[in-house]
Amino acid sequence: MSARTRPASVGNTMALAVRDLRMRYGTKDVLSGVTFSAQRGEVLGLLGPNGAGKTTTIEILEGFRMPSAGEVSVLGVDPARGDEAWRSRIGVVLQSWRDHGRWRVRELLDYLARFYVPFSAPEAPRPWDVDELIEVIGLSELANAKLMTLSGGQRRRLDVAIGIVGRPEVVFLDEPTAGFDPHARREFHDLMHRLSDLENTTILITTHDLDEAEKVADRIIVLDEGRIVADGTVEQLARQFAAAAEVRWNSGGRRHVHAVSGCDPTGFVRDLLAKDEDVTELEVRRASLEDTYMALVQRAEAGPSRFAKQPDTEQQEGTEEASEAQG
Amino acid sequence: MTTSAFEARREAVLAGLSRGWIETRHMLTDTASVIWYFAVPVIFAIVLLVMRGETVPGTEFALGAMVLPSLVGMSIAFGGLMGPAGTIAVDREDGTLLRAKATPNGMVGYLVGKIVMFALTTLVSIVLLVIPALTIAGELQLGPRTWLLLALVFIVGMVSTVPISVALGSLVKSAAQTGLLFLASMLLIVPSGIFYPITAMPTWLQWVGQAFPFYWLGLGARSAMLPEAMAVVEIGGSWRTFEMFVVLGVWAVIGMALAPIVLRRMARRQSGSAVAAARERIMSKGY
């Protein structure tokens, strides 16, 4: 069994490494050549509009889906060949619905923690102490409550606890805060920070919310129609996306607006001020990362009916939307 | 498999045993489940009451005393066949199975837990059936041989039905479709010799009955609980204990060969988006 866990040829030092990942359902390419990697302890935000391929990507990394082509490595192992020892180092935060409704919080965590005991090592003690974990997620007072009596936010925090009870080295979260109120969302973000800072856990989180990606992730990857359109820190992306700038000024009693398509509006402004001495109320505005991302989302939503012809992919897209609507 | 992989499996089996016990406890403390478990023996007791005074055709033996062991056999078959199929379909849709898949050796724990839970709850329903019914059907032969043979029939019954049930539960597309399995089981009760002696049925129906575990589990329970002389009304005038173990053994082998393949194939398709799709479907359509 252990012979099957030989490291994949890519990314032995990386926590995650994906090269030229492709996924095809029928005739529709859901992922067409996705390449990225993450170092240990890095928090990666996978951002994109609905149907961009986020869920497919994360499910391939979790080992729940077989890619059509490409090299994938999670902790040096191809997820399709990952054995139980590999599985013990991976945490998957699932969105619970009504499973284990009669189980009590501590009962379920105790049960799941047992599976990780044989995989404990001196350098990586597993699992978490269950009571300590319950304390971390703030459910101490509900430790003996049945799961079906928990509120949505409480249950989602328990989902996170279940995902990390084995002290994983890599954690996957697919749209974890869909349906959260702002307060629950913030608590969740704090928990993520704690995990990456204190435990040096590598985290891959998918979201369609730029604000969330900015708050949680060290690095953001923007996926659109199965392709990576941007990859970098928030600052890098802001610079990369801020290609267009708008210059407004008053002159001769009239308001002027000029769009600068190049990267730097400085040259235009210098010329303007040199030529026209009446300029007042000069204003230079860069398109923000948000403007650019919103344009991307709008285009994805208004785009040609990409899903109409392929029922397979339609289902795929539908589920992402569903989890956002219901979560 | 390395030693540590073996240890991890063993720990998963132990966790599965505790899972089975926890789920049994949940089942027995849930009002709806308890009503279900008590209602069935009560209905059977009423059936036996109605049969009072009637005898097995051609003999002086009370029909009720003949039917009770058959009901025990049927309970084993039903517990083993219906329970797992129903839960696996539900567990697939609500994400229980996906959680098991995301845990190292989680599927081992899940399966062991299911087997323990269905063995325990079926045992409870049999005890609930036998104890009140004994007062109605008094002509039974009860001794150490009875209990030993009943225990054997119970174990063989579980081994021959649970794997098949797991396979069927993995094959159905949604939890709602398990109703069809229930319907099919009800139809198979007819030629099973449980409510009416199989020898009184047309020959072709006798063959249909003898192809399925219902008949053999009923026969096994009768051979354990009825006096030796009652064997004369059975096919071939014998309890056919050897044939019973052979037929049930064949079902066990078929089930055990099929179940892991079908279960693995079904589990491979499980993912967060598959569960989300099921949730969406149930929330919009209601099933």
* Degrees, nearest 5: CA angle B97-A193-A217: 85
The whole-number mean pLDDT for each consecutive block of 10 residues of chain B, a chain of 287 residues, reads: 80 94 91 80 78 74 80 88 85 88 91 88 84 68 84 91 88 79 84 81 89 91 86 84 92 87 79 80 75
Q: Give the number of other Cβ atoms within 10 Å of residue A174's Cβ.
A: 27
| A111 and A183, same domain (yes or no) | yes
* DSSP 3-state of B173: coil
Residue A93 lies in a domain: yes
Chain centroid, CA A189 distance in Å: 12
- Residue A109: give its domain's CATH number: 3.40.50.300
CB pairs under 8 A between A and B: 119
Return the residue of B nearest to A90 by Cα: B102
Among A57, A99, A109, most B C-beta atoms within 10 A, so best to mutate, is A99
Gap between the Cα atoms of B119 and B80, Å rounded: 8
Whether A114 and B15 lie within 8 Å, measured CB to CB? yes
Å between A109 CA and nearest CA of chain B: 12
Distances (CA, A) of B242 to B62, B199, B215, B217, B238: 27, 19, 14, 13, 10
Domain boundary among A219, A237, A255: A237
Whether B14 and A114 lie within 8 Å, measured CB to CB? yes
A98 chain-B contacts, CB cut-off 8 A: 94
| A198 and A265, same domain (yes or no) | no
| Nearest CB partner across the interface for B94, out of A64, A87, A99 | A99
pLDDT for the residue A22: 94
Distances (CA, A) of A101 to A108, A182, B158, B272: 10, 26, 27, 18
Close Cβ partners of A24 (under 8 Å, ≥ 6 residues apart): A30, A68
| A9 and A107, same domain (yes or no) | yes
Is the CB of A315 inside 8 Å of chain B's CB atoms?
yes
Å between B276 CA and nearest CA of chain A: 6
| A67 and A114, same domain (yes or no) | yes
Gap between the Cα atoms of A62 and A42, Å rounded: 17
Is the CB of A189 inside 8 Å of chain B's CB atoms?
no
Q: Are B272 and A56 in contact (CB under 8 A)?
A: no
Please give the single-letter amino acid code of residue A48.
G
Distances (CA, A) of A105 to A77, A101, A214, B183, B197: 32, 10, 32, 37, 51
B283 chain-A contacts, CB cut-off 8 A: 326
* Degrees, nearest 5: CA angle A278-A284-A286: 165
Beta bridge partners of B123: none
Domain boundary among A214, A237, A260: A237
Residue A312 lies in a domain: no
Residue A147 belongs to what domain range?
2-237
Among B94, B99, B114, B266, most A C-beta atoms within 10 A, so best to mutate, is B99
Tens-digit pLDDT string for chain A (327 aa): 444 444 444 444 689 999 999 999 888 889 999 999 999 999 999 998 888 899 899 999 999 888 999 999 999 999 989 899 999 999 999 877 788 999 999 999 999 999 999 999 888 888 999 999 998 888 999 999 999 999 888 888 899 899 999 999 999 998 888 777 788 788 888 888 888 887 889 999 998 888 888 889 999 999 988 999 888 888 888 777 665 677 888 888 888 888 776 667 788 888 888 888 888 888 887 767 777 787 777 777 776 544 433 333 333 333 333 333 333
Is the CB of A117 inside 8 Å of chain B's CB atoms?
yes
Beta bridge partners of A268: none
Q: Are A66 and A113 in contact (CB under 8 A)?
A: no
| A230 and A251, same domain (yes or no) | no
Residue A79 lies in a domain: yes
Gap between the Cα atoms of B4 and B8, Å rounded: 6
Long-range contacts of A131-134 (CB under 8 A, 24+ apart): A131/A106, A133/A109, A133/A161, A133/A164, A133/A165, A134/A105, A134/A106, A134/A109, A134/A161
Q: In degrees rounded to 5, what are phi and psi of residue A273?
A: -70, -30
Q: Are A223 and A52 in contact (CB under 8 A)?
A: yes
Q: What is the side-by-side strand order in the sheet with A69-74?
A: A28-38, A16-25, A69-74
Name the token pair of A66. 């077989």
Residue of A56, A30, A101, A51 whose CA lies nearest to A322: A51
Q: Are A296 and A49 in contact (CB under 8 A)?
A: yes
Gap between the Cα atoms of A312 and A27, Å rounded: 9
| A187 and A71, same domain (yes or no) | yes
Q: Are A113 and A128 in contact (CB under 8 A)?
A: yes
Is the CB of A262 inside 8 Å of chain B's CB atoms?
no
H helices, E strands: number in chain B:
11, 0
| A263 and A154, same domain (yes or no) | no
Residue A324 lies in a domain: no
| A127 and A256, same domain (yes or no) | no
Close Cβ partners of A208 (under 8 Å, ≥ 6 residues apart): A47, A48, A49, A50, A54, A175, A297, A324
What value does the CA radius of gyration of chain B take, rounded to a whole number of Å?
Answer: 20
Distances (CA, A) of A231 to A112, A223, A228, B235: 36, 9, 7, 76
| A155 and A264, same domain (yes or no) | no
Residue A294 lies in a domain: no
Using the 8-state DSSP alphabet, how is residue A263 labeled? Answer: S
Residue A296 lies in a domain: no
| A127 and A46, same domain (yes or no) | yes
* DSSP 3-state of B60: coil
Distances (CA, A) of A1 to A66, A83, A91, B50, B264: 20, 7, 21, 60, 17
Domain tally, chain A: 2
| A150 and A64, same domain (yes or no) | yes
Å between B281 CA and nearest CA of chain A: 9
Residue A327 lies in a domain: no
| A219 and A113, same domain (yes or no) | yes
Whether A62 and B275 lie within 8 Å, measured CB to CB? no
Burial zone of B139 (CB within 10 Å; 0-12 exposed, 13-18 middle, 19+ buried): middle
Residue of A73, A84, A65, A51 whose CA lies nearest to A23: A65
Q: Which residue has tokens 């040259």?
A: A267
Q: In degrees rounded to 5, what are phi and psi of residue B131?
A: -60, -50
Close Cβ partners of A255 (under 8 Å, ≥ 6 residues apart): A248, A249
pLDDT for the residue A11: 40
Residue A20 lies in a domain: yes
